[in-house]
Structure 1
């Protein structure tokens, strides 16, 4: 079975992909690294859902906020780094939520007012997928991919651009981004069925998307 590192944004977006991989000869390992999620309570709520699901299904999960969990994940120290590059990515050290989120905010500087699917989202995808590519390269994963591509709220072209960028800038020639469209082949419909067992968030994750969601709700209710 071919090993795949699956960057997971949340449990609802992950379940159908994990199921498909298991049925089609792949051995997925989940990687959770989402320092964009705000506030901390929301971050923990989403993380706990995917950790619970990983434990229930026996899928290994690497939790990069300070330790690993899950069957077969091991106990490597979660002190990975990504390097500066021409796009201005900031070097970050994995630690607690506050430290990680502060590092993520640096990649969003000057882009706070961008709309969803705008330049801030692309910078966010690059930031997270560079960490995934670095981990995949360091731990022998020939492929890495992301559940971000399963959501219809996200621009799949941006995700693929960020994934290929991460492959080139952070993969060190040791891993390849799998740009499969995780919405096709019945996977989006299956996603919506499996998502019923999880907490389903109402905004992407960062404080900027939360504020936009709140403004939209206020306008809609006027």
Structure 2
């Protein structure tokens, strides 16, 4: 456990209930949320539903890192279905959409809909996600998808806390270095991998080598 966790600012309650279902996209992004909620005494469970992560090797790497960190906190970890066929059906025709475009909205909708359904079935009235902590993401796009998903269920609440503020993004990177997390080099889907590699090649860089990059500890 981090020696600085007790110094994290206390979070406002996630709605009326102190029981939160945290949709996690990966260990690096969720680490700051996990430590912050732990410091505030929030009862949370991790929900790992990310059929957008391709190929399977990359998916397993990200999932196992998340499980490893969850075990340190003794936090329940829900390993949801890897129904990537459904993801490809939902995003069919959006193969050349840019990052933050319509394909991403469809992807977020799919993941939040399943998260909200699980929450409804298992007594969670509050859900939130680690997706918005990344500066590469459109926070409003993510929050809109989260809120849209919870509208399907009476009294369910999407906690749209700004996890970036107050140094959250910087702490996320610091935790990732401390824990030596696997460092994914693209958003997740096969189209993101394609576009990232195209950009790297244009800049004279090598293609991404899955499973090779880890955060280096601080000097």
TM-score by length of 2: 0.83
Matching of residue 143 in structure 1 with residue 159 in structure 2: no
In the alignment, the residues of structure 2 paired with residue 204 and residue 159 of structure 1 have an alpha-carbon distance, to the nearest angstrom, of: 14
Partner of 2:208: none
Q: Could you tell me how far apart the structure 2 residues matched to 1:175 and 1:25 are?
A: 20
Question: Distance in 2 between the 1:42 and 1:27 partners?
Answer: 29
Q: Look up the SS of the partner of 1:216 in the other structure.
A: helix
Shift of 1:174: 4.0
C-alpha separation between the residues in 2 aligned to 1:25 and 1:142?
17
Q: TM-score, normalised by structure 1?
A: 0.82
Query: Which secondary structure state, in structure 2, belongs to the residue aligned with residue 185 of structure 1?
Result: helix
DSSP-derived class of the 1:112 partner: coil
Could you tell me how far 1:168 is from its partner in structure 2? 1.4
Q: Residues 137 and 174 of structure 1 are in contact (CA less than 8 Å); yes or no, is this contact kept in structure 2?
A: no
Q: Which residue in the other structure is 1:126 paired with?
A: 109
Extract structure 1 runs of 4+ deviating beyond 3 A: none
2:210 maps to what in 1? none
Secondary structure of the corresponding residue to residue 20 of structure 1: helix
**Structure 2 counterpart of 1:8:** 24
Query: SS of 2:97's equivalent?
Result: coil
Match of 1:33 among 43, 49, 53: 49
Unaligned runs of 5+ in 1: 66-96
Q: Which residue of 2 aligns with 1:188?
A: 169
Q: Confirm whether residue 176 of structure 1 aligns to residue 157 of structure 2.
A: yes
- 2:14 matched to which residue of 1? none
Q: Report if aligned partners of 1:13, 1:151 keep a CA contact under 8 Å in 2.
A: yes
Deviations 1:155-204 (A, max 9, x none): 001101100111113xx214211111110122111101001120010000
Is the Cα–Cα contact under 8 Å of residues 31 and 62 in structure 1 kept in the other structure?
yes
Query: Mean alpha-carbon deviation: is it higher for 123-132 or for 48-57?
Result: 48-57
CA RMSD of aligned residues (A): 1.2
